[in-house]
A and B are shown apart, each in its own frame.
Chain A
Amino acid sequence: MIAVLPARSDVVGGDTVRALVAAEIRRALRSPLLWAGLAGSLAIVWWFDSDGAFTDPGAYGEHYAAWEFPVGPLAFVAFLVANGAALRDRPPPAADLLASTPARGWERTVGLLAGALVPTLMGLAVFGVQDTAVLAHGTAVLGDGPWVSTFEPALLELLGGPLAVACSWVAGIAVARLVRSRTVGAVLGFLGWALFSFDFYTFLYAPFGLFALSRSAVVAADLGSDPSPAQLAAHQAVGRPGDLVPGYLGLDRDLPSYALHLVFVVGVASLLAALALARSGRDRRTRPVGAVGLALVLLGLGGQVLTLDTDLGWLDPL
């Protein structure tokens, strides 16, 4: 396919795109579903805080690994709201009406993508509240019994949740541009949310941790059921065998790896945005968005593999 950059006289001006962006942001701000998602996420923050999930040493030590868990409800509704907004033109008369206006589908999609700003800021608020709640108790706790470390949440850790929400919003638009069905969109959104929320433990480890759209800065290494003292001492903290994990876990807060995870998430969001734009009409400006996305995905993945301070034994089968 040859992408075409429309001549200046063929497309609406930047001021129209900016007006569309503003209109979509205002519309997102008025979405009751998004505010309900925000309330759901804040409720989890409150639950974790009142339960001492991040701050009480002992049985809850590994919960630090679930730092981004509260993002679930907000990310889910962000997907649904974006999907519904992108399917505004689904019935043929609506599609005809919108198609007969000067702004093309491409510009409309740019406006929709910019609407991500609203849930992203909501996500930032959620993690700001969580951060404040943890700091009010002093520090966050990682590990069990004699193998406990304490941390002040890093500024970087405020960003993971909001970026996951932004990615979810963009995914909602991309799915709408691929499958023009609200039902399919809702089912896919639910499955994605359930996967990352209820199965978050899977994404604690490599290799799945590398591909997670939402994970904490904690990386874990399986130490087996009878680790040596040297193995136990090699990690910032250790989790005891529990219901979910049969062996000991070596736990480390690895901020460089986490930063690269965030690069990966931005890359995925950019790739999804490029996909949504490509499905909205031909425009050469789509290509750089996709190229940047691909570069960030590769950088994020490759960088995590190189910087992960953990056992790379999972690579052996490869």
Chain B
Amino acid sequence: MTHPVVLTGLGKRYRGTTALHDVTLDLPAGVTGLLGPNGAGKTTLLRIVATALSPSSGEVRVGGHDPADPSGRLAIRRRLGYLPQESTVFGGFTAFAFVDYVAVLKEMTDRAARHAEVRRVLDEVGLGDRAHQRIRALSGGMRRRVGLAQALLGRPELLVLDEPTVGLDPEQRLRFREVLAGLSPDTCVLLSTHLTEDVAALCPRVVVMDRGSVRFQGPTAGLAALAEGRVWDADAADPGATVSWRTPEGRARNVGSPPPGADLVPAGPEHGYLLLTSAASSAERVS
């Protein structure tokens, strides 16, 4: 079966800087987390999948359609919901007017049905009672939710979310997780984030990117498994560890190659992620 999003040998260069290099991904239905540090190429990748940016090389297929072809691009956009990285725009619109405007751009031409859909998505993100406030008067988290609401319009088959939980308080993040959990299982969600706990809570699959390349793709449990037996606690930071930090209990948690007899602790996705990205950093420093 063809996956909803297939990227083959994708590359993107901006004036001599390589943002993406030979990215090949198959994204099935369900939620896929996209993890990576700043500058990893996550936003560039999402912009390409959302048809807002053309790749310099490689192939993109979304639902079998090629965005380089005008009719394919339109077909993709008809099935797409996209939340860009920042939501500080359209400040002069009310939440309702903004989502309604995007709904028009998404070909929802019947006014009554469109307004009903706008109310539905605003209710879904918990902003039903703020619908007629100007976006510039809303808090950062609420603006983010307005952005999420427009992405949910029309129950898209592909949802591309660039750091959707930035600015959300813990309660709002839980609400966001509920929203994603309520989506059809056929929906393909590509969600970029810095937060491994979001990935652990939401994403059965994860892609880790660093410096424009894919470092890992597979089940989130597989990312945790990478660090199995490589996380240990000690009284002090271990010089042999790739990464160390102090736990609330006052001990040093180390990730890397443990010494014999180390006090191993269970590994999570964040440990696998740290191993991947810090190993890449170390390799770059050495070279």
Contact = CB atoms under 8 A, between A and B. Distances in A.
Interface of A: 6-7, 9-13, 15-16, 18-20, 23, 27, 88, 91-103, 108
A94 to B, nearest CB: 4
Contacts of B80: 100
Contact of A96 (B71, B73, B84, B88): B84
28 contacts: A9-B71, A9-B74, A10-B71, A11-B70, A12-B74, A16-B104, A16-B105, A16-B107, A18-B109, A19-B109, A20-B104, A27-B97, A92-B84, A93-B86, A93-B88, A94-B89, A96-B47, A96-B50, A96-B52, A96-B53, A97-B52, A97-B84, A98-B105, A100-B77, A100-B82, A102-B78, A102-B106, A103-B105
A118 to B, nearest CB: 16
Contacts of A92: 84
A10 B74 contact: yes
B187 interface: no
Contacts of A94: 84, 89-90
A100 B106 CA distance: 9
**A contacts with B: majority SS:** helix
A46 B193 CA distance: 60
A92 B160 CA distance: 16
B85 A101 contact: no
A6 B69 CA distance: 11
Contact of B82 (A10, A91, A96): A96
Interface residues on B, range: 35 or more
Contacts, number: 86
Nearest to B108: A19
B109 A7 contact: no
B87 interface: yes
Contact of A101 (B77, B87, B88, B160): B77
A95 to B, nearest CB: 8
Contacts of A27: 97, 101
A9 B74 CA distance: 8
A88 B90 CA distance: 7
6 smallest beta-carbon distances between A and B, as pairs: A101-B105, A93-B84, A10-B70, A94-B89, A96-B52, A100-B82
Given A16-B109, A20-B105, A27-B97, A93 B85 contact: yes
A316 to B, nearest CB: 53
Interface string B82-100: 1111111110000001001
A7 B75 CA distance: 13
Contacts of A7: 70-71
Given A20-B105, A97-B102, A100-B51, 13 more contacts: A7-B71, A9-B71, A15-B109, A16-B109, A19-B108, A93-B86, A97-B83, A98-B105, A99-B51, A99-B52, A100-B77, A100-B160, A101-B106
B150 interface: yes
B86 A91 contact: yes
B151 to A, nearest CB: 9
